[in-house]
Structure 1
Amino acid sequence: MRKTLLVSFMLLLSFVLIACGSSESNEENSNGDKQKEEASNEKWSEIQEEGEIVVGTSGTLFPASYYPQDSDELTGYDVEVMRKVAEKLGVELKFEEYGVDGLLTAINSGRVDVVINDMEVTEDRKKQFSFSEPYKYSYSTMIVRESDLSGIETLEDLEGKKHGGGATTVFSQIAEHFGAETKTYGNVTNDVYLRDVENGRTDFIINDYYLQSLALKAMPDIEVQLHPDLQFHPTNSAIVMPKDADKLKEEIDAALQELRENGTLTEISKEFFGGKDASKKPEEDVRELEGLDL
């Protein structure tokens, strides 16, 4: 009898201990989920409380983010898309300008809430930041000298050439992957890049097709051109946010989806890209780059 009671007591004690352990485990999981949810909501809550979203951009990237001649009003495809997004979010919009290489750092330091500057979505960047759904689809091409295409017929001919670009851009990664050297710049305007190709200080500039097309159209006196045979690396551009800003991403994605469905993205794109709709995927046959972790 005593043995039976002892066994029963031990079983009851085990059940109590298991129940306590399960309760503690559930409480820990609950607290973890709560903390994760709070972190997810924190950036969006902060923006709502301030009534303002601070956006990093360069102000020198035509036609995405720039100042028209004789104007102090920032505009461009990216800028006007962001204005519409802020309207949908119901908050005021403030732009802060940084060089291309300083934009992502500005997110990490908290100086800006998000970045919009024709920023390509890459696997490497996705490890550190969150991205909205794309608001622009494109591909890369290159500007070369009119006289001889800078001696470039294929991407493999880039070895030993000089590329003009930002140190941390995907375009510089592509150039260096094929053996080129990158000459870096500060926050300078497009004409500086173009004239350096023209006069031989650099040989080529890899960048977005739409951006380069419009830059050339705006500065026809500079003797450079788009390479006629090289279209490569299809790209998506999106708004960049802190890694854990899930709620902010949700709100921005909803705003972009509405702007896509009601035709606003198409309308803005055609205004800044010579009647072309960069909000839709291109139909051109574009070369995918293998062996390059972008």
Structure 2
Amino acid sequence: MKKRIIILCSLLFVLVLSACGASEVKEGHEQAADDKVWENIKETGKITVGTSGTLYPASYYPEGSDEISGYDVEVVKEIAKRLNLEVEFKTSDFNNMLASVQNGRVDLAANDIGITEERKEKFAYSEPYKYSYTTMIVRKDDLSGIESLSDLKGKKAGGEATTGYSKIAERLGAEVVAYGNTTNDVYLRDVDNGRTDLIINDYYLQSLALQAFPDFNITIHPDFKFDGSANAVIMSNDASELKKQVDKVLGEMKEDGTLTELSKKFFDGADVSKEPEEDIPSIDELVQQQEDEAK
């Protein structure tokens, strides 16, 4: 009996050691993956960044220039500079941008990318460097026939197929007219000429778009302001060391005023690096509010 107890205890001890060993091996693999991403960047001395090059003022080519610029672009350039790295931008539409992060074609992506719970399951985010909220561009003369959110049913909303903004439009019953990696003027002109009825997007981007195309019959709908947002650099989940380095530099840039300076340069004097002071309702709260008012 004593011998059997000793054998059982020995087996349990071996199992505990095996479990600990497996845990250590798993942790070691995860750490190795983390190190591999960052070590590769340090070895090459270069960081590759996915962006669109068509989203003013986040990522675009200034008229007459072949050098990409914009708020997000210049933030990343400064991050790279402080990490003693060169930076290479690879332009694509939003879907391919995220796919490139996942397959390692780029190290990170920066393109006015909102932080969402759904994306957190697949990607890692840096600390935010832009805060905003969602608004809706419509035709100026008749607000595209939209007086309440229920009026979006059957309307046509311009956007990229899988963005959060397009998902909001679909949820509210609009038909999404999908575009590829195209410039702002194409989206805006289509609302102006009636091919589409609205564009749901970021408030600051839409405000500057209106300034850029004053002859278009478009405006920001005065009654809809919702879903406060935070935007950040997006990376693969196995790039924790890269995230650590990026977060450290972003903290320094926020502290020394660099983010504020860049923001004011690209957003007509506004400081998007700080959260809005006003209380912005979520889309759920706004829908509920309109439903209550309709009763």
Whether 2:156 is the aligned partner of 1:159: answer no
Measure the CA separation in 2 of the matches of 1:78 and 1:127: 23
Deviation for aligned residue 1:185: 1.0
**Letter of the aligned partner of 1:214 in structure 2?**
L
Q: Quick one: distance in 1 between partners of 2:89 and 2:99? A: 15
1:52 maps to 2:33 = no
C-alpha distance in 2, partners of 1:101/1:31?
Answer: 34
Aligned-partner Cα distance in 2 for 1:146–1:25: 66
- CA-CA distance at 1:11 after TM superposition: 4.5
Give the equivalent residue in structure 1 for 2:245: 251
Q: Deviations over 1:21-58 (max 9, x none)?
A: 33323222221221121122221111111111100000
- Secondary structure of the 1:55 match is strand
How many residues are matched?
A: 286
RMSD over aligned Cα, in angstroms?
Answer: 1.6
Choose 44-53 or 14-23, whichever is displaced more: 14-23
Q: Tell me, what secondary structure is at the counterpart of 1:24?
A: helix
- Alpha-carbon distance, 1:291 to partner: 8.9
Instruction: Tell me the equivalent position of 1:84.
Output: 78
d(CA) in 2 for partners of 1:184, 1:162: 10
| Pair 1:208 & 2:202 matched | yes
In the alignment, what sits opposite 1:3?
none
How far does the alpha carbon of each residue in 1:208-256 deviate from its partner, in whole angstroms, 9 at most, with x for none?
A: 0011111111111212111122111111111110122111111111111
Could you tell me how far apart the structure 2 residues matched to 1:213 and 1:283 are?
18
Partner SS state of residue 253, structure 2: helix
- Give the unaligned 5+ runs of structure 2: 287-295
User: Sequence identity, in percent?
Assistant: 51
Task: Name 2:233's counterpart in structure 1.
Answer: 239
Distance in 1, matches of 2:152 and 2:7, equals 74
Aligned to 1:18: 12
Q: Which residue of 2 aligns with 1:197?
A: 191
Shift of 1:87: 1.5
SS of the residue aligned with 1:277?
A: coil
In the alignment, what sits opposite 2:293? none
Report the Cα offset of residue 10 of structure 1.
Answer: 4.3
Once the two structures are TM-superposed, the CA of residue 86 in structure 1 deviates from its matched residue by: 0.9
Residue 261 in 1 paired to residue 255 in 2? yes
Q: Is 2:166 the counterpart of 1:175? A: no
Can you list the C-alpha shifts for 1:122-172, whole angstroms capped at 9, x where unaligned?
Answer: 111111111111110000101111111111122222111100110011111
| TM-score scaled by length of structure 2 | 0.92
C-alpha distance in structure 1 between counterparts of 2:285 and 2:40, whole Å: 41
1:119 pairs with 2:113: yes
Whole-angstrom distance in 2 between the partners of 1:14 and 1:54: 55
Specify the alignment match of 2:217 in structure 1.
223
Residue 272 (structure 1) aligned to one of 266, 276, 287: 266
Q: For 1:74, which of 60, 68, 74 is the aligned residue?
A: 68
Q: TM-score, normalised by structure 1?
A: 0.93
Structure whose alpha-carbon radius of gyration is higher: 1
